[in-house]
Amino acid sequence: MFTIISRIFHFGFKNFWRNGWLSTATIAIMTLAAIGFLGLIIFGVVTHAAASAIQDKIDISVYFNTNTPEDEILNIQQSLEGLSQVASVDYISQDQALATFQKNHANDPTVSQAINALDANPLEASLNIKAKDPSQYGAINDYLSSPDLASYIDTISYTQNQDVINRLAAIVRDVSIGGWLMTIFLALVAGLVMFNTIRLAIYSNREEIGVMRVVGASNSLVRGPFVVEGMLWGLIAALISLVVFAPVLYFVSPYLNEFIPGLDIFRYFYTHIILLFIYELLFGVVIGGLSSFWAVRRYLKN
């Protein structure tokens, strides 16, 4: 068994160097597919960070009638915190709302005089609600719109924010779907190129393969070197894609940080480089190995 495996790897490396130009062209296509796959992973990190940054600035506010008891508002807050869709709920009392309003208009004497002239605090207590996912604000709004809470609530800001919330959810969903479709397309192209490359390699080595089959070589011994060759293409493509991506992310990272504060994409890259390499390796080796296996299988059936 050890002898057979060593021969398979020996002939696999031999075929790899013998088919130099074919290997180079195939690795180039494989590298593009690997870069697309790695780009999808990085893009997923960026979109997640961007969505989180935008989501932190989006919430829905519930304003309560001025005669609503504070205990009732706190009970509603507690019930909202129990919902699976809710990430956090912040209570802003009437006094806090008034203090914030006065601070924001401290340089406007007209507003300050008008507030001081009032006998009672005109501002309403409110709850600021953040969802775990932008698509879940609709369910939270439905909960707040129930008849049991209608007598306490004056207004809900969901209607004003609904377009922004729905657009954010749609962008995240569409970008994710588009990225996966692009990666699948590149993987299919790479697999097709490798399939045809292996077929050409088989054709160029047809006499050698014929001799091997005449002397009784098993299908595994015939197929193995080509599968090893395909896996080598995937391995090299994975390494090249990481080398290409590193300087690109290094220069792009500061610009992304300006738009998405707190995101250091280059730091994410080098702190997760082993995991990314494993993903790339699996992606390349699986495509290369399966394409080679299928190409030789068709030849052996003929």
Please, is 84 exposed, middle or buried when counting C-beta atoms within 10 Å of its C-beta (0-12, 13-18, 19+)? exposed
pLDDT of residue 177: 79
pLDDT of residue 112: 65
Q: What share of the chain in percent tops pLDDT 70? A: 72
Task: Judge whether residue 236 has pLDDT over 80.
Answer: yes
pLDDT of residue 92: 92
User: Which helix or strand (DSSP H or E) is residue 204 part of?
Assistant: helix 158-204
Angle at 90 between CA 86 and CA 94, to 5 degrees: 140
The answer as to CATH 2.60.120.10 being correct for domain 58-162 is no
Higher pLDDT, 50 or 265: 265
Q: Describe the strand order of the beta sheet including 86-92 as a list of residue ranges.
A: 86-92, 126-131, 60-64, 153-156
Distance (Å, whole) CA 77 – CA 127: 7
Angle at 100 between CA 97 and CA 106, to 5 degrees: 135
- Residues 6+ away with beta carbon under 8 Å from 13: 228, 232
pLDDT of residue 123: 83
**Mean pLDDT over each residue of the chain, to the nearest integer:** 78
Lowest mean pLDDT among 158-162, 237-241, 261-265: 158-162
Task: Judge whether residue 246 has pLDDT over 80.
Answer: yes
Give the residue from 97, 88, 96 showing the smallest Cα distance to 55: 88
Q: Using an 8 Å Cβ cutoff, are 33 and 286 in contact?
A: no
Please, is 230 exposed, middle or buried when counting C-beta atoms within 10 Å of its C-beta (0-12, 13-18, 19+)? buried
Task: Show the tokens assigned to 209.
Answer: 């393969």
Give the residue from 295, 30, 19, 21 showing the smallest Cα distance to 188: 30
Task: Judge whether residue 9 has pLDDT over 70.
Answer: no
pTM above 0.75, yes or no: no
Phi, psi of 64 (to 5 degrees): -100, 150
Q: Using an 8 Å Cβ cutoff, are 157 and 95 in contact?
A: no
Q: Using an 8 Å Cβ cutoff, are 210 and 203 in contact?
A: no
Give the pLDDT mean for 113-125. 75
pLDDT of residue 4: 61
Task: Judge whether residue 298 has pLDDT over 80.
Answer: no
Distance from the Cα of residue 4 to its chain's centroid = 42
Task: Judge whether residue 154 has pLDDT over 80.
Answer: yes
Report the range out of 14-18, 145-149, 168-172 with the highest average pLDDT: 145-149
Per-residue confidence at 202, pLDDT binned at 50, 70, 90?
Answer: low
Per-residue confidence at 91, pLDDT binned at 50, 70, 90?
Answer: very high
Report the range out of 26-30, 33-37, 146-150 with the highest average pLDDT: 146-150
Angle at 67 between CA 122 and CA 138, to 5 degrees: 90
Task: Judge whether residue 204 has pLDDT over 80.
Answer: no
DSSP helix, strand, coil percent of the chain (3-state; round to 5): 80, 5, 15
Beta strand pairing status for 153-156 and 86-92? unpaired
Task: Judge whether residue 15 has pLDDT over 70.
Answer: no
pLDDT of residue 281: 84
Task: Judge whether residue 38 has pLDDT over 70.
Answer: yes
Domain with CATH 3.30.70.3040 in the chain: 58-162
